[in-house]
Amino acid sequence: MVVLSGGMDSTTLMAHYAALRFRLIAVTIDYGQRHHREIDSARAVAAHFGAEHRVVDLSGFGALLSGSALTDDTVEVPSGHYAEQSMRTTVVPNRNAVLANVAVAVGVAVRAGTVALGVHAGDHFIYPDCRPAFLAALRELVAVANEGFPTPQVEAPFMTWSKAQIAEHGTRLDAPLAQSWSCYRGGDAHCGTCGTCYERREAFQEAGVVDPTEYLDSVTTFASP
């Protein structure tokens, strides 16, 4: 069971487990995110792999999470390097804990052997729920919360990887990265300057592989803090 946001990390994660011959179930959470466009990408990616796809509607949840640029329309999505402190406005409180535990609950119900997350080292700068300590705590919680029941193991194979390594891995596995979506601003094309767009642009450049993404701005650069 892959937690599939529709972004390039989780799209590569689908390709990773497909290459390992796992039968795939994708779980996507609609938590009322501004970039709702990513859910369409998740559907396309799941269809590409012929995976069962379950979309969980928690759209009312996001409305309660004021102060995050991803769930609060009054907060502007910042432009800049993804490691800038300004990117803290894109943190959704406890998001990955919620998403991962929803996926685990579904995984327990269908007796999945593994629940996989696409978190990676490039997000360690800003997002506390993308760090090794979070993964260790999540694994302990899953074991305790589901004691006595067949419990999936929680895996995050990209935890120590850079975004460039993910771009390279996804390209090598022929993952449908052109169908994935990263931009936090939504719209019809990637803006190219929000933190997650810039991280995506930089990843393909550093990996030395073709970037299949159309950006509104593919020229502006930001210095690493």
pLDDT of residue 133: 95
Q: What is the pLDDT of residue 124?
A: 87
Q: Which pLDDT value is given to residue 123?
A: 86
User: What CA–CA distance (Å, rounded) separates 25 from 56?
Assistant: 13
Q: What residue spans of the chain are helical by DSSP H? A: 8-19, 37-48, 59-62, 95-110, 132-145, 163-172, 195-207
pLDDT at 26: 98
CB 10 within 8 A of CB 37: no
| Helix (DSSP H) and strand (DSSP E) numbers for the chain | 7, 5
b/e per residue 141-178 (b: at least 16 CB within 10 A): ebeeeeeeeebbebbbbbbebbbbbbbbbbbeeebbbe
Between the CA of residue 178 and those of 24, 73, 111, 210, 215, what are the distances in Å?
Answer: 20, 27, 32, 10, 12
Distance in angstroms (rounded) separating the CA atoms of residues 115 and 3: 7
Check residue 122 and give its pLDDT. 87
Domains and CATH numbers, the chain: 2-207 (3.40.50.620)
Token pair 């396309």: residue: 44
Cβ burial of 51 (10 Å; 0-12, 13-18, 19+) is buried
Q: How do strand 153-155 and strand 114-116 relate by DSSP bridges?
A: parallel
Q: What is the DSSP letter of 217?
A: -
Q: 155 pairs with which residues across the strands?
A: 116
Count of beta carbons in the 10 Å neighbourhood of residue 47: 13
**Mean pLDDT in consecutive groups of 10 residues from the start of the chain, 225 residues:** 98 98 97 95 98 96 93 96 95 93 96 97 90 96 97 97 98 98 95 97 98 98 94
Reported as half-sphere exposure (CB side, CA atoms, 13 A), residue 208 has a value of 0
Q: What is the pLDDT of residue 206?
A: 98
